[in-house]
Amino acid sequence: MLRNYNILTAVIALTGSLSLFISGEINPIFSFSPVLMIYGYFRLVKNKPQAPKWTINVLSITTLIIFLLDAFIASDDYLVSVANLTILFQAIKSFDLREPWDNLQVFFMSLLQLIITSEFTNSILFGGIFIVFLSSSVSAIILAHFIKTGSGEKIVLAKPMVFITLITFFLTTLLFISIPRIAGGFWGKGHKKGIKTAGFSERVDFGSFGTVKLDPTIVMRIELSGIERRDLYWRGMTLDYFNGVMWENTESERRLIYKREGFFTIKPYKKQNVTVQKIYLEPIDTEILFGLPSITAIETNSRIISVDGTNTIYIPMKKNKQFFYTAYSVDEPVYSGFIEKKYIQLPEGMGRISELARNITKGKTRTLDKVIAIEKHLKERYTYTLTVQKPPRGVNPIEDFLFRTKKGYCEHYATAMVLMLRSIGVPSRIVTGFYGGEINSYGGYLIVRQSNAHSWVEAVIDNKWQRFDPTPAISIEKPSIIILYLDTLKMQWNRYVVSFSSSDQRNILRLFAFTLKIPDMPDFRLRSIRDILALFLVAFIMSTIAFLIYKSLKREHYAYPTIQYLKAVKILKKKGIKVTDTMTSTEIKSIFVENSLKEKIEELITMYEEHRFGGKILTPDDKKRYRDLVREIELLK
Amino acid sequence: MGNDLLYKLQSQIEIVIKGKSNVIKKAFITLLSKGHLLIEDIPGVGKTTLAYTIAKSINCSFQRIQFTSDLLPTDIIGVNIYNQETREFEFRKGPIFSNIVLADEINRTNPKTQSALLEAMNERRVSIERKTYLLPEPFMVIATQNPIEYHGTFPLPESQLDRFMMHIKIGYPDEEYEKQILLQPSPIEIADKIKPIITSADIIRMQNEIDNVTVEESLLDYIMSIITETRKDDRIRLGVSPRGGQFLLRSSKASAYFDGRNYVLPGDIKELAPLVFGHRIILKTKSYISDAEKVIEDILDKIPVPL
């Protein structure tokens, strides 16, 4: 039994360290430590002597010094340094497990490691590791109990272990559903690393775009519902000022929008025209929210959002972590209002470009026709490529694109179009965001990757901002089925675990309320007596479950013979024989004088006494005999 | 079932003392666990016969001391007598130098004599004038008390009672057995005829073998909870001493051994607890030992048995 206990301890120690390593926050240098740890447990299981006390002490003190250096000088991040410390201590401890209760320290450290990991990662792998940790610690604790009480018998662990693990899951799920959500981690520090190679960026220059276009990193996953839309332009932000080399956003005024009943309403809208997008944004280094134009409302956990004059939506102080929101969009062009001068601003030396624009629009009188002509010109006469050669020194990249290479990517096209439009007096701007996405038919959602980053054009026609995209259509390679399926798993993890929101909570409760035929359940803002009652109900159910677990624990810690003996006693009670809890087995035996039951009872009780108090080893045959006897006793009068 | 030799012994003694197998078993349990027995009962139920028959069947020496108010300590343990021929004092051993000693009506004698007996019982040796004489092995005192007559008696104080391992009653035989007793000759005559089955050496071996009987840990907890309960109970002024606990454990082991087991059962403990603890506790109300036994039984009915 001690051997199994030690093996379980090793598994628990491994889950803790492993989880930290999968979080990717641990310096790979530390991987020597789990290797040492495995060796330590190997020795322990083989009953080799543990390391001398002084070695352990020296190592522990050294580790502590390393920890202090690490925490205050090297990594400067207390969580990471605590994680490093536990990894080292786990290895040391594996050579210093002398008494069964020493293992408790290992369990504690593993738990700590798992908690730290939960702050670092949202990985689905972590969920798996957690299950392993949970089930092995449950069994280890049960074993520890038996080691403590000194019962030398073999104990059947499988049933109570599975039972307790399931109950724990059930309770955790219940807690997960019922406890009010707190946005963000406990530590308030975004530990996730943002997506560094930004396909989407808040400015447009003509630099490293090519590599970005090949980057398959997923930026967001979107569940779409509502009105069918063909063109999926995930609008991010607009850029209005071009200095000849790059675009910038000069829009600086932002207006704050406050939440009303869970919603940030940007402008009033009619429900029937709305496209609803549930968006799971991966950690991305921007405060901007994406969505189909034009977003009229946002529903999210965040307290505050702000909007600028170009309908770009920001979450101030959004950290580099996953972010979930629902966007409500209406497919209507936005009324332009007063058009600022900056939308027809042009840098110096654009003569050649405006000449080209005039040539293209020759003979057109309506603005729309002129714009469409330019869009068509760019679409048809230029080639889309991701490998753009750098223009010769001193040459404007757009001129280079328009007149020399005639090859470029979306930013060249969009920039060229805006510059041409501005040169003929049409107010216009660049819009950046993402275009399209792959439909994952398993999960029924859309995957948008860095490679979907795109920029297009908005121009004012008839006092409305309208969208034009001069970039020719490009074919996208479809990813394999397996990849799509795996991504579905990840999406579901994100959807139902990571970004489980209070509105989901309400939905689930409503579902329960429906099945229980209770008219409506509260949304956990205690407003009435009924809400409080409902809360009490939940508390009552939880405590009942806790009590049942306690009872089952009390029952389950009996060894097999005792369980069978108790079964028989229960049967006797049912048969109307007066048996009390303070009766000894000897007394129960002596109740019966002369009948067929006496024989069976005596045999069973004697077996029980031998196994329980006599230290006789329980064999599978004995078990069978127990079962048979209990059954026979049940059948006899 | 049971230890064959002891079972044979028990049935042989039962020929003499009819229908009292339980009492015989208790006497052997006391003997095997190196304790002493206190029998509280009316005269004529066979106390003397029991002691005599036991001694006879295990081939041991037997002495009966009738306690009277004028009995002196030297009458029990012996006396130094001046030998005129050798011109030396020589020790003449008293009746206590026997394997089985029956101390009849122990409460009739004065405390000084009582304590001389009890000291010898406890220490298994006698010291006279700086010389120590070991008592024979095995050694067991069976003391009797008459519970009805109080006039002119010196009841044993609790501290003295504590030295007895067990306190039992013999009680009247069942009607069926009593009829047989009416017909048969005097029991001592029958006892005289019986042959020893084992020797005193066998008894010593068995006494040592009792140490091999195992006790599961939860049973120790069971004993502890009985003891603790006697110390907490409202009806009890003085609870069981640690020695009482030791005696209960030892006698439970002997009981298991008697039944041919090498492990103690909760049943052993529960059966013996009233007999081992009954005379050790002091109730708040003035009472007989039998009342105390009832309280112990009451406590036992409250404590869950280890499963």
Same domain, A117 and A233: no
Q: From the CA of B203, how many Å to the nearest CA of chain A?
A: 24
Q: How far apart are CA A421 and CA A381, in angstroms?
A: 17
Pick from A150, A581, A610: CB nearest B304: A581
By three-state DSSP, how is residue B166 classified? strand
Answer yes or no: is A192 within a domain: no
The amino acid at residue B181 is I
Q: Please compute Rg for chain B using Cα positions.
A: 20
Residue A566 has its nearest CB partner, among B214, B264, B307, at B307
DSSP state of A465: E
Contacts A567 to B, Cβ<8 Å: none
Q: What is the pLDDT of residue B250?
A: 93
Co-location of A261 and A390 in the same domain: yes
Using a CB-CB cut-off of 8 Å, the residues of chain B touching A150 are: 217
The 10 Å CB-count burial string (b at 16+, else e) for B22-60 is: ebbbbbbbbbbbbbbbbbbbeeebbbbbbbbbbbbbbbb
* pLDDT given for residue B245 in this prediction: 92
Angle (deg, nearest 10), helices A410-423 and A351-360 = 80
* Shared-domain flag, residues A240 and A383: yes
Chain B touched by A580 (CB under 8 Å):
yes
Chain B residue with the nearest C-alpha to that of A558: B307
The reply to whether A404 falls in a domain is yes
Q: Is residue A497 part of a domain?
A: no
Alpha helices in B194-265 (DSSP H): 200-209, 217-232, 242-258
Residue (of A212, A397, A240) closest to A310 by Cα position: A240
Distance from CA of A554 to the nearest CA of B (A): 12
The HSE-up count of residue A83 (CA atoms within 13 Å, CB side) is 29
Are both A220 and A150 inside the same structural domain?
Answer: no
pLDDT at A156: 59
Question: Band of the pLDDT at B251, cuts 50, 70, 90?
Answer: very high
Q: Are residues A355 and A442 in the same domain?
A: yes
Contact in structure between B143 and B36 (CB atoms under 8 Å)? yes
Interface touch B214/A614, C-beta < 8 Å: yes
Q: Which of A584, A587, A602 should be substituted to probe chain B, the one whose Cβ sees the most B Cβ atoms within 10 Å?
A: A584
Q: Residue A509 falls within a domain, yes or no?
A: no
Cβ–Cβ contact A613 with B under 8 A:
yes
Q: How many domains does chain A have?
A: 3
Question: Which one, of B253, B245, B200, lies nearest residue B30 by Cα?
Answer: B253
- Residue A565 structural domain: 558-635
Residue of A nearest to B219 (CA): A613
Instruction: Kindly provide the ipTM of the predicted complex, given to two decimals.
Output: 0.83
Contact A437, A446 (CB under 8 A): yes
- Six token digits for residue B90: 């020589």
Does A269 share its domain with A335? yes
| Residue segments in chain A with a per-residue pLDDT below the cut of 70 | 72, 74-78, 119, 121-123, 145-161, 164, 168-169, 171-215, 226-230, 317-321, 441-443, 474-485, 492, 494-544, 546-557, 593-594, 637
In a domain, A148, yes or no: yes
Chain A residue numbers with beta carbons less than 8 Å from the beta carbon of B266 are: 584-586, 613
Helix (H, G, I), strand (E, B) or coil at A373: helix
Task: Tell me whether residue A256 is in a domain.
Answer: yes
- In tens, the pLDDT along B111-134 reads 888 888 888 888 888 888 788 888
For B114-137, b where at least 16 C-beta lie within 10 A, e where not — what string?
A: bebbbbbbeeeebebeeeebebee
| CA nearest to A614 within chain B | B263
Residues of chain B found within 8 Å of residue A566, distances taken between Cβ atoms: 307
Considering A438, A462, A481, which residue would you say is the last residue of a domain? A481
Q: What average pLDDT does the structure give for chain B?
A: 86
Is pLDDT of B209 > 60?
yes
DSSP-assigned beta bridge partners for residue A466: A459
Query: Which of A148, A560, A582, A602 is the best substitution to test chain B (most B C-beta atoms within 10 A)?
Result: A582
Residue in A with minimal Cα distance to B216: A613
Q: From A460, A481, A502, give the residue that closes a domain.
A: A481
- Neighboring chain A residues of B271 at a CB cutoff of 8 Å: 584, 586
Nearest CA-CA distance, residue A8 and chain B, Å: 26
Evaluate whether residue A161 is within a structural domain: no
| Cα(A83)–Cα(A21) distance, integer angstroms | 10
Six token digits for residue A385: 């490529």
Interface test with A, best of B214, B226, B265 (most A CBs within 10 A): B265
Instruction: State the number of CA atoms in the 13 A half-sphere of B158 facing the CB.
Output: 18
Sorted by where each starts, the structural domains of chain B and their CATH numbers stand as: 1-210 (3.40.50.300), 213-307 (1.10.8.80)
Same domain, A229 and A139: no
Domain boundary residue among A138, A155, A172? A155
Distance from CA of B58 to the nearest CA of A (A): 29
Do residue A464 and residue A338 come from a single domain?
yes
CB A599 within 8 A of CB A605: no
Instruction: Identify whether residues A60 and A125 lie together within a single domain.
Output: yes
CB nearest to A150's CB, from B217, B268, B300: B217
A144 and A215 inside one domain = no
pTM over 0.95: no
Q: Which of B23, B98, B97, B92 is nearest to B56 (CA)?
A: B98
B304 CB neighbours in chain A (<8 A) are: 581-582
- Domain annotation covers residue A168: no
pLDDT score recorded for residue A620:
85
B267/A562 CB distance under 8 A: no
Q: Are strands A383-384 and A407-408 parallel, antiparallel or unpaired?
A: parallel
Say if CB A233 and CB A293 are below 8 A apart: yes
Best residue in B1, B212, B216 for a mutation probing chain A (most A CBs within 10 Å):
B216
- Decide if A47 touches B, using CB distance below 8 A: no
Task: Identify all chain A residues contacting B217, using CB atoms and an 8 Å cutoff.
Answer: 149-150
- Nearest CA to A238 among A332, A312, A143, A306? A312
DSSP lists the bridge partners of residue B263 as: B214
- CA of B263: which chain A residue's CA is closest? A614
Q: Are residues A109 and A240 in the same domain?
A: no
Count Cβ–Cβ pairs < 8 Å, chain A vs chain B.
54
Provide the token pair at B14: 């039962």
Q: Could you tell me if A294 and A383 lie in one domain?
A: yes
Tens-place pLDDT, residues A308-352: 888 888 887 666 667 888 898 888 878 777 777 888 888 887 888
User: How far does the CA of residue B77 sit from the closest CA of chain A (Å)?
Assistant: 42
The alpha carbon of residue A168 is apart from the nearest alpha carbon of chain B, in Å, by 28
**Residues of chain B whose C-beta is under 8 A from some C-beta in A?**
214, 216-219, 261-271, 300-305, 307
Lowest mean pLDDT, pick from A585-594, B83-92, B271-280: A585-594
Q: Tell the burial category of A273 from Cβ atoms under 10 Å away from its Cβ (0-12, 13-18, 19+).
A: middle
Q: Which residue of B has its CA nearest to A562?
A: B307
Instruction: Say if the Cβ atoms of B302 and A582 lie within 8 Å.
Output: yes
Nearest CA in chain A to B303: A582
Least CB–CB distance from B305: residue in A583, A610, A615? A583
Q: What is the mean pLDDT of the segment spanning B163-185?
A: 85
Q: Which pair of structure tokens corresponds to residue A267?
A: 């402008």
pLDDT at B253 over 90: yes
